C-alpha cells in the first residue's frame, strides 16, 4: 500500500486523513487531542482508521505545539546577544498602545528578561559598512557566562544586520563552537528585512521554542520509526508549504500557524482545478471564523505575524498565510449585557460546550441557535453519536437572551435564535469585508468557499448578506484542514530589504538579487526534495518615493523597469482607486518563493459519494429560514447519496459527518465534478 497522510493537531481534536493511492480511497479519523503526548494523538488516530505507519509513504503534519509553547511561555531558558546600546529593543518594542484608553494597558513581557540580554561591541552602518568590528574576545567571555547560566538557547540579533549579516554569522559560528549543546539562532537567518525590534523579536522567539520543538520533532520521528515507518515526514509551515524536520528544527517559528492553513491550501487546489479565479476561503469552527483570499490559485502571505494578537502580542517576521480571524464560532456564547445582545468572543468551547451537547453548558451558543431553529438535526449530529438537546437549547435562549431583551418567551424563541445567527453573520461579514476592502477588492467578484464545522451552515446567508452570487462547499468540510494539507507543496520563502529608485536598469538589479536568492533556496530545497521540479515566484516590494507603505508586485525574467512600474501603478489603482501616474517609484524589498511539488492525491477521488440516480430526501423538516424569516418545510438529504450532476432547488439541507449545509428558498444547488456542492444565489449575479 502507498498511503499519503495528513494530520492536523488542534486544540480540541486531532484529525487524520489517509489517502490510499492504489485503491483511490480516502479515510478520515478524528479523536480528542492528547495534550501531553501529541505524537500519540496522531498514532492512535491512525490506528482508528486502520493505517499502519509502515504503509505510509508520506506523512504531513500540522501542529499547535509551536504557538502553544509561545502562548503558554513554556519554552527554553534563553539568552540574547545584541549590539551595545540596544539590549532593551526587545523590552521597549515599538511602544504603541493599541488599546489606547485602558489606563493600565501594558505590553507583554519580553521572552528574554533583561539580565539574560547581553551586549557586545560591534556596529554595522545603515549602508552595511562595518563601523565597529565584532569584539570576539568579549564574545568568548559571553559564551562562558552563558554556560555558567546554563542557558539552553541563544538568539543573536545585531542592529543593521539586514544590510550586512557578516557579524551575526561570525557570532553564531563562534557560539555554536563554544556551546555545542546549546540551540543558537540569528535574526538574519530568519529575516533579512529591516526593523530591529521585529527581527530581534523573531530571533528571540525562534530561540525560545527551538529546543522544545527539536525534542518534539525528534520524538515524533522516533515514535514513527518504532512502528516501522519508512516514509517521509514533513511539517506544515505557516506559508502553506511543507518543511522537512531538519528545516523545521532550524526555524520552528515557520510553523507558528501550522494547523489552520491546511484548509486554505486545499481551497487553492480546488480553485485551480475548478477554474475559479477569485475565492474567499471561509473556515468556521468552534471558537473562531477565519477567511483568506485565494486569487489565481494563490493565497497571500503576510510578512508580520503577532503571537497572541496585535493588541497584546509580539511580532514575528515569518511568512504566514494572510488570514483575518474573528471570534465568532459555533461555540460563541450569546448573552445580554446592559440590554445589548453580544455574540462571542466568549466561547463555550468543547468544555462545557453548547447547551444542546448536554455536557454542562448553560449559556446558549450559536450552535444552540442553529439547533433551536432545526437547522442542525437533533439526532443526526456526528451521525447520531451525539444526540442534541433541542428543548434545553430553546429554554436557554428564552432565559438568557429573549427575556432580558424584552421578548415574549417561548412564542418568540425562533425570532431570538434567528437574531443571534444574524448578528453572528454580521460579525463574520465584517471580517470578510475587512479582507476584501482593505485589499481593494470587490467582495461580489468572489466565490465563497466554505468549510469547517460551521462554514456550510452559515456561508449561504453570509453570501446573501455580502451579495456574493456563488458558494462552493468542498467534500469533507469538517475535515478539510487535514485534507487540504495533503495538497501542499514543499515551499521556502525569503524576503529582504533592498532600496533603490525604480528607474533605468533597476529591473536588472532586481532580477540579479532574485536570481541569487532563488539559487540559494533551490539548493536548500533540492537537498531534501531531490526529485521534484521547482517553481519559483518573485515579488518586488514597491512604493511611491516618500510614501510609507508598500505594495507587492510579481515580476519575472521577462520584465523591464517600465513593465514593473506599470504593474505597480495598476495594482495601486486597483487597491486604492486612484493613482498618480507621474510619481517616482522606489524598490524597498524583494520576496522570493521557491516551491517543489510533493505527491498529492487525485483530487477527484477525495469525495465519498456513494449515491446514483435520483436520491430521495431522508426527511422533510420544518426549518427556520433566515431569508424568509419563517419556518418552511425543508427536504433533508444525506450528502453522500447525491451523485455528481445532481441538481435541486432550495430550501434544502445536506447532512454529512461533521457538517451541515443549509440552503435557503432562493438558492439552488448542483453537485460538481469533484463532489463539491455549488450553491447559486438567485438575484446576486
Partner 1 sequence: MIDPITAEIVVHAISAIPNLIDKNITKTAFSPLVSEYKDYAVGIVDADGKLITQCKGGIPIFVANALSAAVRDGLEIYGKSGLQTGDIVITNHAGTMGQHLNNVVMYTPIRRSEGDDGLFGFMAIVMHWVDVGGIVVGSCLSNETTDVFQEGIQFHTVKLHSRGEPVEEMYRMITANTRFPHMVLGDLEAQIAGCLHGCTLVDELLDRYGADQVQGAVERYWDQSEAAVKRAIADIPNGTYEASSFLDNDGVHEDETVEVNVAVHVTNEGITVDLSGIGPEGSGPMNAGYEGGAVAASRIACKYFFSPDDPANDGAFRPIKVHCPPGRFLSAGPTAPLSGSGNMLPTVVDTILKALGAAVPEKVPAGHHGTYCLHVITGQLADDGGWFQHMESTIGGWGAWSDHDGVGPFRSIVHGDTMEVPVELQEANHPYRVDWVRLRADSGGAGKHRGGLGIEKCYTMLGPADVTAIIERTKCPPWGLDGGREGETGRIEIHRAGADCSEVLIKGSASLAVGDRALLFSGGGGGHGNPVERLTDSVAEDVRKGYVSRRAALKDYGWTELE
Rule CB under 8 A: is residue 546 a binding residue for partner 1? yes
Alpha-carbon dihedral angle through residues 36, 38, 43, 49, given to the nearest 10 degrees: 100
Rule CB under 8 A: is residue 278 a binding residue for partner 1? no
The answer to whether 213 and 65 have CB atoms below 8 angstroms apart is yes
Smallest separation, CB 497 to partner 1 (Å)? 9
Rule CB under 8 A: is residue 308 a binding residue for partner 1? no
Rule CB under 8 A: is residue 160 a binding residue for partner 1? yes
Rule CB under 8 A: is residue 624 a binding residue for partner 1? no
Smallest separation, CB 114 to partner 1 (Å)? 4
Of residues 31, 223, 433, 608, which one binds partner 1 by CB under 8 A?
433
Question: Distance between CA atoms of 194 and 173, rounded to whole angstroms?
Answer: 22
User: For 102, phi and psi rounded to 5 degrees?
Assistant: -90, 110
> Given the complex with partner 1, which of 181 and 339 has the nearer CB atom?
339
Of residues 197, 220, 357, 446, which one binds partner 1 by CB under 8 A?
197
Residues forming beta bridges with residue 655, ordered by sequence position = 638, 660
Secondary structure of residue 486 in the 3-state scheme: coil
Residues forming beta bridges with residue 585, ordered by sequence position = 544
Instruction: Give the H/E segment covering residue 185.
Output: strand 183-186
CA 107 to chain centre: 24
In whole angstroms, how large is the CA radius of gyration of the chain? 26
Which of 495, 584, 522 lies closest to 303 in space, CA to CA? 495
Smallest separation, CB 322 to partner 1 (Å)? 14
Rule CB under 8 A: is residue 557 a binding residue for partner 1? no
Secondary structure (H, E, C), 489-548:
CEEEEEEEEEEEECCCCHHHHHHHHHHHHHHHHHHHHHHHCCCCCCEEEEEEEEEECCCC
Of residues 115, 148, 181, 581, which one binds partner 1 by CB under 8 A?
115
Smallest separation, CB 309 to partner 1 (Å)? 13
Rule CB under 8 A: is residue 101 a binding residue for partner 1? yes
Which of 272, 191, 290 lies closest to 281 in space, CA to CA? 290
Of residues 228, 438, 442, 562, which one binds partner 1 by CB under 8 A?
438
Question: Distance between CA atoms of 45 and 28, rounded to whole angstroms?
Answer: 9
Of residues 549, 581, 613, 614, which one binds partner 1 by CB under 8 A?
549
Rule CB under 8 A: is residue 309 a binding residue for partner 1? no
Of residues 54, 73, 96, 351, which one binds partner 1 by CB under 8 A?
96
Rule CB under 8 A: is residue 339 a binding residue for partner 1? yes
Rule CB under 8 A: is residue 471 a binding residue for partner 1? no
> x/- site string to partner 1, residues 638 to 667, per CB under 8 A?
------------------------------
Rule CB under 8 A: is residue 114 a binding residue for partner 1? yes
Rule CB under 8 A: is residue 106 a binding residue for partner 1? yes
Which region among 36-44, 71-79, 91-99, 379-387 touches partner 1 (by CB under 8 A)? 91-99
| Residue 23, number of CB atoms within 10 A of its CB | 11
End-to-end CA distance of the chain: 46
Secondary structure of residue 484 in the 3-state scheme: helix
> Furthest-apart CA pair in the chain: how many Å?
82
Rule CB under 8 A: is residue 92 a binding residue for partner 1? yes
> x/- site string to partner 1, residues 485 to 524, per CB under 8 A?
--------------x-------------------------
Q: Which stretches of the chain bind partner 1, using CB under 8 A?
A: 84-89, 91-107, 113-115, 125-126, 131, 159-160, 162, 194-197, 338-341, 405-406, 415-416, 419-420, 422-423, 426-427, 430, 433-434, 437-438, 499, 544, 546-549, 575-578, 580
Amino acid at each position: 500500500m502507498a498511503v499519503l497522510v495528513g494530520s492536523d493537531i488542534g486544540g480540541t481534536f486531532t484529525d487524520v486523513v489517509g489517502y490510499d493511492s492504489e485503491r483511490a480511497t480516502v479515510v478520515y479519523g478524528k479523536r480528542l487531542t492528547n495534550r501531553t503526548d501529541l505524537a500519540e494523538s496522531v498514532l492512535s488516530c491512525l490506528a482508528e482508521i486502520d493505517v499502519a505507519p509502515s504503509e505510509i509513504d508520506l506523512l504531513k503534519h500540522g501542529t499547535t505545539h509551536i504557538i502553544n509553547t509561545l502562548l503558554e511561555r513554556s519554552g527554553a531558558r534563553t539568552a540574547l546577544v545584541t549590539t551595545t546600546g540596544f539590549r532593551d529593543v526587545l523590552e521597549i518594542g515599538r511602544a504603541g498602545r493599541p488599546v489606547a484608553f485602558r489606563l493600565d494597558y501594558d505590553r507583554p513581557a519580553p521572552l528574554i528578561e533583561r539580565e539574560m540580554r547581553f551586549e557586545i561591541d560591534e556596529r554595522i552602518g545603515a549602508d552595511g559598512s562595518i563601523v565597529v568590528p565584532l569584539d570576539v574576545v568579549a564574545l568568548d567571555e559571553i559564551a562562558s557566562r552563558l554556560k555558567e547560566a546554563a542557558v539552553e538557547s541563544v538568539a543573536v540579533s545585531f542592529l543593521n544586520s539586514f544590510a550586512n549579516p557578516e557579524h551575526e554569522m561570525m557570532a553564531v559560528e563562534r557560539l555554536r563552537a563554544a556551546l555545542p549543546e546549546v540551540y543558537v539562532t540569528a535574526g538574519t537567518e530568519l529575516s533579512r528585512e529591516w526593523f530591529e525590534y521585529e527581527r530581534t523579536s523573531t530571533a528571540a522567539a525562534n530561540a525560545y521554542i527551538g529546543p522544545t520543538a527539536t525534542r518534539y520533532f525528534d520524538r515524533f520521528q522516533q515514535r514513527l520509526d518504532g512502528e516501522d515507518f519508512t516514509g517521509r515526514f514533513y511539517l506544515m509551515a505557516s506559508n502553506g508549504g511543507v518543511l522537512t524536520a531538519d528545516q523545521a528544527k532550524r526555524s520552528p517559528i515557520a510553523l507558528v500557524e501550522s494547523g489552520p492553513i491546511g484548509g486554505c491550501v486545499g481551497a487553492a487546489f480546488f480553485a485551480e482545478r475548478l477554474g475559479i479565479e477569485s475565492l474567499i476561503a471561509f473556515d468556521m469552527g468552534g471558537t473562531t471564523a477565519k477567511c483568506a483570499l485565494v486569487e489565481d490559485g494563490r493565497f497571500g502571505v503576510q510578512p508580520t505575524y503577532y503571537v497572541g494578537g496585535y493588541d497584546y502580542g509580539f511580532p514575528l517576521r515569518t511568512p504566514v498565510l494572510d488570514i483575518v480571524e474573528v471570534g465568532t464560532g459555533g461555540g460563541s456564547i450569546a448573552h445580554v449585557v446592559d440590554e445589548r445582545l453580544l455574540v462571542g468572543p466568549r466561547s463555550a468551547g468543547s468544555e462545557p460546550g453548547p447547551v444542546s451537547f448536554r455536557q454542562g453548558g448553560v449559556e446558549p451558543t450559536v450552535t444552540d441557535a442553529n439547533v433551536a431553529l432545526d437547522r442542525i438535526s437533533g439526532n443526526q449530529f456526528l451521525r447520531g453519536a451525539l444526540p442534541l438537546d433541542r428543548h434545553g437549547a430553546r429554554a436557554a435562549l428564552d432565559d438568557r437572551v429573549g427575556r432580558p431583551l424584552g421578548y415574549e418567551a417561548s412564542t418568540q424563541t425562533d425570532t431570538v435564535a434567528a437574531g443571534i445567527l444574524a448578528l453572528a453573520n454580521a460579525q463574520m461579514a465584517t471580517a470578510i469585508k475587512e479582507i476584501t476592502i482593505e485589499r481593494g477588492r470587490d467582495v461580489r467578484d468572489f466565490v465563497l468557499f466554505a468549510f469547517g464545522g460551521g462554514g456550510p451552515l452559515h456561508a449561504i446567508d453570509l453570501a446573501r448578506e455580502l451579495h456574493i452570487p456563488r458558494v462552493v462547499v468542498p467534500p469533507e468540510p469538517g475535515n478539510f484542514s487535514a485534507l487540504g494539507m495533503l495538497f501542499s507543496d514543499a515551499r521556502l520563502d525569503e524576503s529582504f530589504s533592498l532600496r533603490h529608485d525604480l528607474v533605468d536598469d533597476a529591473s536588472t538589479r532586481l532580477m540579479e538579487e532574485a536570481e541569487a536568492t532563488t539559487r540559494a533556496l533551490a539548493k536548500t530545497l533540492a537537498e531534501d526534495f531531490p526529485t521534484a521540479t521547482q517553481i519559483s515566484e518573485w515579488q518586488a516590494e514597491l512604493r511611491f518615493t516618500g510614501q510609507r507603505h508598500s505594495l507587492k508586485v510579481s515580476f519575472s525574467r521577462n520584465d523591464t523597469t517600465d513593465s514593473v512600474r506599470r504593474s505597480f501603478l495598476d495594482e495601486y489603482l486597483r487597491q486604492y482607486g486612484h493613482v498618480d501616474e507621474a510619481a517616482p517609484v522606489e524598490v524597498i524589498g524583494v520576496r522570493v518563493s521557491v516551491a517543489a511539488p510533493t505527491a498529492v492525491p487525485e483530487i477527484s477521488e477525495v469525495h465519498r459519494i456513494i449515491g446514483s440516480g435520483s436520491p430521495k430526501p431522508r426527511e422533510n423538516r420544518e426549518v427556520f429560514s433566515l431569508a424568509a424569516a419563517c419556518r418552511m418545510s425543508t427536504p433533508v438529504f444525506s450528502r453522500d447519496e447525491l451523485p455528481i450532476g445532481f441538481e435541486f432547488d432550495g430550501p434544502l439541507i445536506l447532512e454529512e459527518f461533521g457538517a451541515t449545509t443549509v440552503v435557503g428558498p432562493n438558492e439552488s444547488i448542483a453537485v460538481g465534478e469533484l463532489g463539491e456542492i455549488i450553491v447559486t444565489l438567485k438575484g446576486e449575479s
